[in-house]
Structure 1
Amino acid sequence: MTPATSRRAGGAAMAFALAVLPTALPTSTAQASQPAPTPATETVDVTVTEGTNLAVATSPRDGSILFDLQGQLFTLPREGGTATAIGDITLDPYWPSFSPDGKQIAVQSFADGMFHIRVLTQDGRSSRALTRGDHDDTYPAWSPDGTRVTFTSDRAGGEDIWTVDTRGGEPRRVTTATTAETQPTWAPDGRSIAYVQGNTIESVDLATGAVTTLVPATQGQVAAPSWSPDGRSLSFLRAGPGGRTLQVWQAGVVRQVGAHTDVFPFPARWSSPTELVYGANGAIVATVAASGESKTVPFRATFRLHRDRYKPKARDFDDTEPRPVQGIVGPALSPDGRTVAFKALNDLWLSPLGGTPRKLTDDDAYEIDPAWSRDGTKLAYASDKAGTEDLYVRDIASGQERRITAIDGAEFAPAWSPDGKTLAFQDHANQTLTVDVATGAVTTVLPGAFSVPGKPSWSADGKVLALAVNAAERNQIQLVTLATGASKIVDPGGSVSTRGDDGPVFSPDGRWLAYSRDSVLWVLPVDPDGTPTGRPKRITTEASDAPSWSGDSRTVLHLHNGTLRTATVDGVVKDVPLRLTYTQQRPDTRIIIHAGRLWDGRDAQPKTNVDITVVGNRIRRIEPHRPDRPRDGARFIDASKLTVTPGLVDVHNHQQMRSKTFGDRQGRLLLSYGITATRSTGDAVYRAVEDRESLAAGTRVGPRYFMTGEMLEGTRVNWEFSRPVRDERQLGLELSRIKELDYDLVKTYERFRVDWQAKVTGYAHRLGVGTTSHYLYPAVANGVDSKEHLYGPSKWGFGFARESSLGGPYEDVLQLAARGGMPFSSTLFSAGTLLADDPAMVTDPRVRALFTTQDKQALNAKLLCAQGLGPCGFLDGTPAQARRDVELIKRLLAAGAVVVAGTDAPLDTTALSLHLNLRSMVKYGVTPFQALRSATLDPAKQLGVGADLGTVEPGKLADLLIVGGDPTTDVAALADVRWVLKNGVPHTVPELITPFQR
C-alpha cells in the first residue's frame, strides 16, 4: 500500500470504531459513542531535498540506493534524482539493508507493535516477518550467502546476537555474555559477526564462540559497524564532542574518513571495496575510503500527507446548567456493600448505592483516597489541610477524626490492615510504608524508586501486601511478605491497566485478587499469600477501572466511563446511579482595569493607557482610559503602571502526575505565575476529569484545564499514566472512554502502533478532538494534529530522534512541520540553565510558600547545576544545548511552522519552567513577540478555543495577566505577577500563597 492509499485505513476509523466497540454495552451507550460524520481531508504533497537522520542501503545488483527518510522507504538511482516511495506507511521501518543478491530488503519493523525483523521484496510490494513474539528484534544484517539474517534480540532477557534462517525456523542465539551486544554485521567470509559491546567493537567466531576485540574502547561512543565486501576494512561511527564521524578500521589501525561531522547513526554501506555510501549533514554521501573524497547524491523525495479539516468540539464556557459529575475518584465500597465513599468536586462524599451523595468534607483542602476499615466504622483518607498531604482517620458515626501522619512530605493511598491497627500507605518518594494507627510509628515496606507503584492492598490474614509495580516494562503484581520483606512478582496475564486505582485488590476472604487488565476487570484465584491457584477470570466486558470489594467478597464496585457499576464474581453487571451534578462557575461581577500597557496577543507593540471592562467571565469593552469613567459599583484595578497580557498556557503538562503530592498548592502555584490554562498530555483519567470539573465549578483554585486520560501505549509501558493496549477489542474500549469522558486531547505514546494511531486520530477528529504524539512522520501523514517535544524519547529510546540530528533539523523536518501544519511543543529542559541568570527565582515568595521541601531541594539543585557548582540531573541541560534547542525553534519558525510553549511539568519545575522556556527562546534569538505568542494565542488555536482565549479582546474570556514591566521588550517581566484573572475572577499573589505561608 502506498502512502497515498494507506491513509484510507485511517479514514475508515469510523467503521473500525463501530466494529470494535464492545457488544456488551447497552444500545443507548453504543449509539452515544458514535462520532460525527467524517471530516474533510486535505491532501498535501511535500517534496524535500534534504533528510534528517536518514539511513542508506545500496543494492549489490545495480548500485541503486534505498533510503529510510522519516520512516518512509524510498528508492533512488545510484546517480541520484527523483526518489520513489515504496512499502506500506504502517511498516514503521528502521535499519534497512539489501540482501546480497539485491532482491530483498531486511528492516527492523514496528508494524505489529513489537520490533521484529521483516523482509520486503525489492519493490516493497510485499513483506513477511522473519521473527515474532513478545520481544524486540533489532538491527538486521544479512549473511554473505543470503540464507540468514543476524540481529539483536532481548528474547533471552538481555541484548544478545541471534541469527534466523530466511527460509523459516526458530532463531538461534549466538552470544550469551551478561553484557549487551548489539548492531551486528556479518563478515564477508561468513565465519564471524562483529558487533558493538559497550564502547568497543567485538567479533565472535561462529564455529568456536571465541570473541575478539577489533576496536578497543577510546574516547567517543562507537556505533554501526559495517564490513567491506573484501573483509579487509570495517567502517563504524564515533560520536564525540566534535560530532559524529565516519571511521574505518583496517589491520588494527583506525582513521577518520571524510569531513562530515553529522554522520547519521546507521551503518555506512560499502558499494564496493573502496567506496562507502551513507547519510550525513542532510544528504546522501558517497565517499572513497582511501582518500576521503566525497560527493553528494542528490535526491527529491515527496511525502503525501492527509490532513483532516474538522470542527473542534463545542465548549460552552458560559453555560450554568447542571452537569452530571463524571470525575469520581477512588470509589470505595463499604464492607456491608451499601455505601460508597469517593472523591469528586474537590471533596470527599458518601453515598448510599443508588442514592443521593452527601459531603464528608467541605473545604478547600485536597482530599484523596478514602479507605474503609474492615468493620465499616472508620474511613481513612489523605488531606493537605495541615499544609501537605497527611493521613487522617474519621469515625463515621461521630464525625470525629484524628491526624495519623505528619511527615515532611506527602502521604496518601491508605489501606487498612484487617485488624484495624495499621495503615499501609505511599509517599512522595514512591515508597510503600505502614503506620501504626495508635502510636504513629512508621515502617518502610518498599523503598522509593522512579517508577510509581499502585495503591497497596492487604491479604486477609494481614501478612502480605499486594500492589502494582513496573517490572520488565509491564504492570505486574508484587506481593510483599511484611514479616520478612520477601517479595515476588506475579504475572496477571498481561499488564494491570494502570498503576493507580486499578488494583490488585485482595478480596476480604483472601481468595481473589481483583484488577483491571486490558481495560476490563479480572479476578485471579489465589492462596492466602497471593500466589495464583488458577487462571484469571474476566468479569466485565466494558471499560472498567478502580475495583473495590464488598465485605462478602462477592461483588466488585468499579468505574465505567464516569459511572459506577457493580460486577459479581460470576460476571453479572449492574448500574449504580449517582445523583450528583455541578455547574460551571460564572462570576456575577463587574471589573474595570486601568492598564498602562496592554499587549493584546495579536500586535507586536502594546497599546497604552486603556480601560478594560470585565463583566462576569468575559471582556466587555476595551477603551482609551478616562479618569472620569463611571464605575457604577465595579471593582477597580489600578494597573496604570503595569502591563496586561493574555493569561499564559502551558501546553504540555502532566497535572495529575504529582497532584497527590502538590495537593491544593498546584493550582495556586500555576496561577501565581500567570498560567491560566494547562493542557494535559497524559494523566490518570479519573483524577483528570475530577480536576477539570472542580476547576470549572470553582471548587478548586487553579487554571483552566484541558484534560486527557492515560497515554495510549503498546504492550510495554513505563509511566504509571500510560495505558497499554493489547488488541483491537480493547482499542474499542479506549475509544468509548475518549467519547464518554469527553477528552480534550488524545495522546498516543511511544510504542503505539502506527495503524492504530491513524484509527484513533480519525475517530477523535469525528468528535472534534485533537491528537498528539512524539512523532512527526507518519503521524503528520495520518492526520495527527501536533508533536510533543522538539525531539524527545521515542520507541528507539532517548538516543535517536527523526526530528533532529547533531546538526539538524534539515529540510524534511522543517517542511513536514510547516506544510503539514503540525505544531511542536517546546519542553526546553535545557532552559533550566537560565536559573544562573536569575538566582532569585529560587527564593521567590511563591516558591517559599507553595513548593514542598522536596521541590525546593530539587530546584536548588537545578540552580547549582546551572551555576556549575553542583552535579546535574539526567534532564538538566547546558547553555550549549539551550542554544541548539532554540536554533531548532528558530528554524521551524522561519520555515512557517508553529512552536507552542510546553514544559513537561512536573518532570521540569512546575510553573517556573514555562517562564524559563520563554526566556531561553528570547535569549538565543526568538523575538519576544514570537515567544509570547507561543504561550498565548498559538496554543489557544491549537486547542480549538481561539475564539475564547489567547488574546485580550472584547467578547473573549477574562483570563488575564497583570505584570510589572513590559514583557514585549523583556519577557522576564511575565514572572512579575501582580494580578491574575481566570474566568473573570481576580487573584493577587499574596491571596494565592497566604494559605500555605508558614
Structure 2
Amino acid sequence: MRTPNHRRFGGLALALVLVAAVPVTSPATAAAPKRTTTDITVTEGTNLAVAASPRDGTLVFDLQGRLFSVPAAGGTAKPLADDFLDPFWPTFSPDGSTIALQSFADGRSRIATIKADGTGVRQLSDNPFDAVQPAWSPDGRKIAYATGPDGAKDLWQIDARTGAMELLSTDPVDESAPTYTPDGRQLTYLAGNEVRNLDLASRTRTVVIPGGQGFLAAPSWSPDGKRLAVLRTGQGGRTLSVWENGALRPVAAFADVFPFPARWTSKDELVYGADGKIYRTNVASGATVGVPFAATLTIARDDYPRKKYDFDSRDPQRVKGIVSPALSPDGRTVAFKALNDLYLLPVGGKAKALTDDDFYETDPAWSRDGKLLAYASDKGGSVDLYVRDLATNAERRVTSGTGSEIGPAFSPDGRRLAYQDNNAQTWTVDLASGMQTRVLGPQNAPGRVSWSGDGTALVQAVSVNNANHILVLDVASGAQQTFSPGTSISTRGDDGPVISPDGRWTVFSQDGVLWVTATAPNGRPTGASRRLTTEASDAPTWAGDSNTVLYLNNGRLKTVTLAGRTTDVPQDLTFQRDNQTGRKVIHAGKLWDGRDPTPRENVDIVVVDGRIVAIEPHRDRPRRAGWTYVDASKYTVTPGLIDMHNHQQIKAKSFGDRQGRLLLSYGITTTRSTGDPAYRSVEDREALDSGARLGPRLFATGEMLEGPQVGWDFARPVRTEQQLELEWTRVRELGYDLVKTYETFPVKWQAAVARKAHKLGVPTTSHYLYPAVGHGVDMKEHIAGPSKWGFGFARDSSLGGPYQDVLQLAGQSKMPFSTTIFAASSLLADDPGLVTDPRVRALFTPQDKQVLNAKLLCAQGRGPCGFLDGNAEQARRQVQVVKKIVDAGGVILAGTDAPLDTTALALHLNLRALAKYGLSPFQAFQSATLLSARQLGVEADLGSVEVGKLADLSFVEGDPSKDVGVLANVRSVLKHGRLFTVDELLGPFRG
C-alpha cells in the first residue's frame, strides 16, 4: 500500500474516501454575463487586402476579418455583411456588381460571392478541401481558384451563375494564386516559386517568370497585358514589383506590402495595402499616394462571475478522470486509470487499486481469456510495457527500451502485443521470445491499435487530409488501406476504432457519439456505419460477447449493446485535496513579491496550513514545537511561476512521473492546458490535486473545439450545432477550467461558445484577435501562431506590424496574448549551461535531450534549425511586437506551447527574451505571475506573495529583478506550502 514512508516524498499520502462526493470547485451562477461594448475607429490596418471596383473605383478591403468599402478617394469606411462572413482575398467582378472572396463562415474556406452593397452572400464551391484565392475571368462568367491538400493544390474554376465546377490543372507542383490574362485565354498562377501560364484551350503550360527571383506571390495582370504585378519577399521584406520586358523591377518603396494581389485601376496604376495603409502607385512614374480611411470595429467584453475554486477544502470529490477503461472479456470487471494508478472495478462492486504505487501507469489491456492485463509504466525508469497475471499477481516487464512503449493490445491468440513507441511507430512483440518487430513507421499522433478478428491486421485512427480515418494494416505484408467512416473520428486516442472479439464489428466515436460498422475478419469495414449512442461517448471497448460496448459519458462508465440498450456501471472513487497542514517560517534574503518592482530585503514569510498569514521584517524567533523553519537567507523568494499555454498530455506518456517534477524544479507551480485529451487532462488535474502525482496545479481543459477539419489528435471536430450542444455537456460535467476553440472553428459558433462558457464562469480562448474580441472571447494564444491560413499569415501580425488596428483592439480590450516565442531558444547561445543542467540530465527523456542539444547548436549557428526554431533576430522582432502591445495598454502572458517547445526551460527562455529585447524585468516577471493569475480568475489565491494567498513560492539564487535569467536558478519550491528541494525532485531519476 502507499504510505508516507513508502512514497518518494513523505506526507503526500492519497486519501480515498468512499463517501458522497462534495465538489470543491463550482461554476458560477448560470446568469447571462454583463456585456460592455466599445467602438474603436482605426486608420491603419494589419495585413488588409484591397480590391477596386471597375465601375466607380470604390475600394473594398478586408480589415481584421471584416469587410469594408470606402470611396476611391478615401474617407469613412462602411462595413459590409456581418462579423461572421470571415472573408479573405476579395476581388471585384469585371462589371463591379459583385465581389468574390473566400469565406470561412462554416469552418472550411469556400468560394463565395457578395453584392457590392454587402447583401446577397452566396456560397459557390463545395470541394472537399479549402477553396482559396478567387479570380474573375474577364467576361465575369467564371471564377478561378485553388483547392486541394496543403502543398498539393490544383487549379479549378467555377461558373458564377450555375456553380458548376471544372478542374483545370493538376500540375504536380503546388499551384496557387490564379489570375486570368486580360484576353481570358490563359490562367497565370504560381507553381512552387515559378510563375506559369496555363492555356485554357490546349492545357499546355509555359513559364512567365522563372524561379530564382526571390519568393514570389500574388500575380495580377495590367489591363493591357503588358505588365504583371507580383510580390517579392527577400531579406529586406516584401516589396511590390512588376514583370515587364522580361525583367522584374520594384515599383514601390514599402517593405511590408501585404500578401494579396495588388489591383490594377488602370494600365499604369495599382492599389494595394502596405505599412498599415492603402496606397496607389503609378508604375510608370513611381508616384505613390495614400488613400485614407477610418473604419470602426467593436470590442465586446463580458463581466461574469468566475468559476469558484476552494483550494483549502478537504471535502471528498467524485473522480471523473477515468482514463482508458477496458472491459474484461467476461464483462464483469473494468480496468482503468485514475488518480495515477490502475484500478479494477467489479461491475456492481467497489474499485480497488491494482498498482497502488507512486509510478505512472496507463493503457490497461486485457488478454482474450481475461487472465492477463498489459499496461505501460515508468517503474523501471522509462515507460515500458508490463504483463500481469491477475490470478497470481506475477508480473514481467515486456519491453525495456530507452524511449517509451505505450498502448498495448493483445493479439487474439494472446501470443503478441501490438503497441506504439514515443516516435508514433507501431510494433509487435512476441511474448515468448521477446522479439520486437516494427510494422508501421511514424504517423501523425495515431490512435491506439486494435487487432482484427483473424489476427492478421491492426487498425487505428490516423490523420489523412485533415480528418481522422481508419487505417487497416496487414501485419505480415505491411500493406495499408485507409477507410473514411463518412467524416472524421472524434479524436485519435482512445476513441477507436476498436474491433469486436469475433471480428464482425468495429466501434468508434464520431460526432461525439458511438457508431458501429460491420467488419470483415481482416479488419476492413464492409458496410455503412450506424449510431449506437446519443450522448457524449468516448473510449469504447468490447466485452467478449462482441455485443456489449463499455464507454465513458462525461466521467461516468456505461455499457451499450448492439441493440442500443444502455446500462450504468457505477464507480465510487472519490479523492480529497492533498493540502498541506502545519506551520512554517521562511527567512527570505530577498522577496520579489510580484506586486512591487523592487524586492524587499530580509523578511520572514509565515505560512499556516499552506497559506501566507504574515510577511514581516526578519527577526530571530524562538523555535516553537511543531513549526518548520526554512533558511532562505541566501535566496530571493518569488511567487511560483505560471505557464499559461501548455499541453501536458502530448508527451505525458513518454515523460511519465518526470514531467511534474521537471516543472516544479524550475519554479513552475501552476500550468494551464490549452488543449488536451479530456479524460487524461481531468485525471492529471485530479491526481495532482490529490497528491497522487507530483507536479504543479493544473487548470485543465479538454480537446480543442475544431471545425470539420482536424489536425491535432486532441482536437475534436464539430460539424453541427446539435453536436456543439452535446460537446457542451463535456465542458460542464467534466468541469473544464477553459474552453479553447481552434483554427477552423466557425466564428459564429465561437461567439456562442463564449456566451455559454461565461454562464459557467469559464473563460474562452482562441488563435484569433478579431472578431473574437468583438464577441466576448477572453484571450488570444500566440503572438504569431498557426491559423486557418497556415503558419505564414495572421491578421494581427505582419512583417512590419502590427499596426493601429491590432494595437487599439488589444490595448482597449485588455484581451491578453500568450507569448509562446519559439525563437527564444536562440538565447541558449547566451547560456549553454542550461543544456547540461542536472535537472535536464535527470528528468528529460533521451529524445528531449537530443532535441535540446539540437536547439543549442541551432542557436550557436553550428547546426540545422528545426521547423519551430528561430534565430535571435526573430526573437527580437516578436518581442518588439509584444512591446508595442504592452505600450498600447495590452496584456501579455507568458506561455510556452510545451512540449512543442522545451518543457519548463521554454518558460524561462520566453522571460529572458522579453527582458532582453524590450520589456523590463518586472514586466516579464508579472507576465508569468500576477497577470496570469488574474486571467485564471484566481488572483485572490495565486500570482504574488501576499498575506492570504497560497504559499506557492520559488527560492532562486540571485536577484531576478536585475536579471530574470536567475529565475531558473531554483533551489527549492513550495506548492501550497509543501516544500521540495531540487535534489528531492530529481529523486530516483538522478543519474
TM-score bracket, normalised by the shorter chain, equals over 0.9
2:336 paired residue among 342, 345, 351: 342
* Preserved contact between residue 451 and residue 523 of structure 2 (Cα < 8 Å): no
Q: Which residue of 2 aligns with 1:782?
A: 775
> Are residues 1:248 and 2:242 paired?
yes
* Preserved contact between residue 331 and residue 558 of structure 1 (Cα < 8 Å): yes
* Preserved contact between residue 241 and residue 248 of structure 2 (Cα < 8 Å): yes
For 1:915 and 1:527, locate their aligned partners in 2 and report how far apart those are by CA, in whole Å.
53
For 1:651 and 1:629, locate their aligned partners in 2 and report how far apart those are by CA, in whole Å.
41
Structure 2 counterparts to residues 204-603 of structure 1, below 5 A: 204-449=198-443, 451-603=444-596
SS in 1 for 2:852: helix
Q: Which residue of 2 aligns with 1:27?
A: none
Deviation at 1:631, TM superposition (A): 3.8
Q: Which residue of 1 aligns with 2:970?
A: 977
For 1:609 and 1:345, locate their aligned partners in 2 and report how far apart those are by CA, in whole Å.
40
Q: Which residue of 2 aligns with 1:911?
A: 904
Shift in alpha-carbon separation, 1:275–1:654, aligned structure 2, 3 A? same
For 2:988 and 2:699, locate their aligned partners in 1 and report how far apart those are by CA, in whole Å.
26
Deviation at 1:552, TM superposition (A): 0.6
Shift in alpha-carbon separation, 1:576–1:34, aligned structure 2, 3 A? farther
Structure 2 counterparts to residues 7-86 of structure 1, below 5 A: 36-86=30-80
For 2:453 and 2:249, locate their aligned partners in 1 and report how far apart those are by CA, in whole Å.
68
Cα deviation code 1:744-774 (max 9, x no counterpart): 0011110111111111111101101011111
Which amino acid in 2 is paired with 1:747?
Answer: K
Which amino acid in 2 is paired with 1:307?
Answer: R
Shift in alpha-carbon separation, 1:75–1:870, aligned structure 2, 3 A? same
For 2:188 and 2:818, locate their aligned partners in 1 and report how far apart those are by CA, in whole Å.
40
Deviation at 1:168, TM superposition (A): 0.9
Deviation at 1:633, TM superposition (A): 2.6
SS in 1 for 2:308: coil
Structure 2 gap segments, 5+ residues each? 1-25
Cα deviation code 1:203-240 (max 9, x no counterpart): 11212222221111124111101111122211010101
Q: Which residue of 2 aligns with 1:687?
A: 680
Deviation at 1:313, TM superposition (A): 0.7
* Preserved contact between residue 479 and residue 530 of structure 1 (Cα < 8 Å): yes
- Give the stretch that moved more between structures: 771-780 or 181-190: 181-190
Which amino acid in 2 is paired with 1:233?
Answer: R
Q: Which residue of 2 aligns with 1:16?
A: none
For 1:586 and 1:930, locate their aligned partners in 2 and report how far apart those are by CA, in whole Å.
31
Structure 2 counterparts to residues 621-640 of structure 1, below 5 A: 621-628=614-621, 630-640=623-633
For 1:397 and 1:530, locate their aligned partners in 2 and report how far apart those are by CA, in whole Å.
32
SS in 2 for 1:174: strand
Q: Which residue of 1 aligns with 2:639?
A: 646
Q: Which residue of 2 aligns with 1:147?
A: 141
TM-score by length of 1: 0.96
* Preserved contact between residue 532 and residue 564 of structure 2 (Cα < 8 Å): yes
SS in 1 for 2:88: coil
Q: Which residue of 1 aligns with 2:115?
A: 121
SS in 2 for 1:980: strand
Cα deviation code 1:118-158 (max 9, x no counterpart): 11111112211121243221111111121221111229994
For 2:128 and 2:108, locate their aligned partners in 1 and report how far apart those are by CA, in whole Å.
7
For 2:417 and 2:150, locate their aligned partners in 1 and report how far apart those are by CA, in whole Å.
40
For 1:407 and 1:210, locate their aligned partners in 2 and report how far apart those are by CA, in whole Å.
55
> Are residues 1:721 and 2:714 paired?
yes
> Are residues 1:767 and 2:760 paired?
yes
SS in 2 for 1:95: strand
For 1:176 and 1:152, locate their aligned partners in 2 and report how far apart those are by CA, in whole Å.
10
* Preserved contact between residue 962 and residue 977 of structure 1 (Cα < 8 Å): yes
Which amino acid in 2 is paired with 1:80?
Answer: G
For 1:508 and 1:77, locate their aligned partners in 2 and report how far apart those are by CA, in whole Å.
69
List, as ranges, runs of 4+ consecutive aligned residues in structure 1 with deviation greater than 3 Å: 32-35, 155-158, 629-632
Q: Which residue of 2 aligns with 1:138?
A: 132
For 1:731 and 1:571, locate their aligned partners in 2 and report how far apart those are by CA, in whole Å.
22
1:803 paired residue among 792, 796, 808: 796
TM-score by length of 2: 0.96
Deviation at 1:585, TM superposition (A): 1.2
Which amino acid in 2 is paired with 1:854?
Answer: Q
For 1:988 and 1:33, locate their aligned partners in 2 and report how far apart those are by CA, in whole Å.
35
CA RMSD of aligned residues (A): 1.3
For 1:914 and 1:740, locate their aligned partners in 2 and report how far apart those are by CA, in whole Å.
31
* Preserved contact between residue 596 and residue 642 of structure 1 (Cα < 8 Å): yes
For 1:156 and 1:302, locate their aligned partners in 2 and report how far apart those are by CA, in whole Å.
34
Q: How many residues end up aligned between the 2 structures?
A: 966
Deviation at 1:628, TM superposition (A): 2.7
SS in 1 for 2:169: coil
SS in 1 for 2:364: strand
Deviation at 1:630, TM superposition (A): 4.9
Q: Which residue of 2 aligns with 1:3?
A: none
Q: Which residue of 1 aligns with 2:186?
A: 192
Cα deviation code 1:358-416 (max 9, x no counterpart): 01011110000011111111111100011110111111111111111101111111111
For 1:456 and 1:129, locate their aligned partners in 2 and report how far apart those are by CA, in whole Å.
40
For 1:210 and 1:464, locate their aligned partners in 2 and report how far apart those are by CA, in whole Å.
45
Deviation at 1:33, TM superposition (A): 11
* Preserved contact between residue 764 and residue 777 of structure 2 (Cα < 8 Å): yes
* Preserved contact between residue 33 and residue 736 of structure 1 (Cα < 8 Å): no
Deviation at 1:646, TM superposition (A): 0.5
1:756 paired residue among 725, 731, 749: 749
Which amino acid in 2 is paired with 1:780?
Answer: V
Q: Which residue of 1 aligns with 2:15?
A: none
> Are residues 1:816 and 2:813 paired?
no
Which amino acid in 1 is paired with 2:204?
Answer: A
Deviation at 1:287, TM superposition (A): 0.6
Deviation at 1:34, TM superposition (A): 12
SS in 2 for 1:207: coil
For 1:238 and 1:447, locate their aligned partners in 2 and report how far apart those are by CA, in whole Å.
39
For 1:854 and 1:984, locate their aligned partners in 2 and report how far apart those are by CA, in whole Å.
34
1:963 paired residue among 948, 952, 956: 956
Q: Which residue of 2 aligns with 1:165?
A: 159
Shift in alpha-carbon separation, 1:867–1:424, aligned structure 2, 3 A? same
1:988 paired residue among 973, 981, 988: 981
For 1:564 and 1:583, locate their aligned partners in 2 and report how far apart those are by CA, in whole Å.
21
Which amino acid in 1 is paired with 2:511?
Answer: D
SS in 1 for 2:896: coil
Cα deviation code 1:315-364 (max 9, x no counterpart): 11111111100000000000000000000001000011132100101111
Q: Which residue of 2 aligns with 1:9?
A: none
Shift in alpha-carbon separation, 1:867–1:157, aligned structure 2, 3 A? closer
For 1:419 and 1:364, locate their aligned partners in 2 and report how far apart those are by CA, in whole Å.
33
* Preserved contact between residue 786 and residue 824 of structure 1 (Cα < 8 Å): yes
Which amino acid in 2 is paired with 1:69?
Answer: L
For 1:221 and 1:503, locate their aligned partners in 2 and report how far apart those are by CA, in whole Å.
43
For 2:149 and 2:690, locate their aligned partners in 1 and report how far apart those are by CA, in whole Å.
51
* Preserved contact between residue 453 and residue 523 of structure 2 (Cα < 8 Å): no
- Give the stretch that moved more between structures: 545-554 or 530-539: 530-539
For 1:249 and 1:599, locate their aligned partners in 2 and report how far apart those are by CA, in whole Å.
60
SS in 2 for 1:626: coil
Cα deviation code 1:783-835 (max 9, x no counterpart): 11111100111111111111111111111111111112210000010000011
2:938 paired residue among 945, 960, 965: 945
For 1:216 and 1:232, locate their aligned partners in 2 and report how far apart those are by CA, in whole Å.
17
* Preserved contact between residue 43 and residue 293 of structure 2 (Cα < 8 Å): yes
Which amino acid in 2 is paired with 1:124?
Answer: G
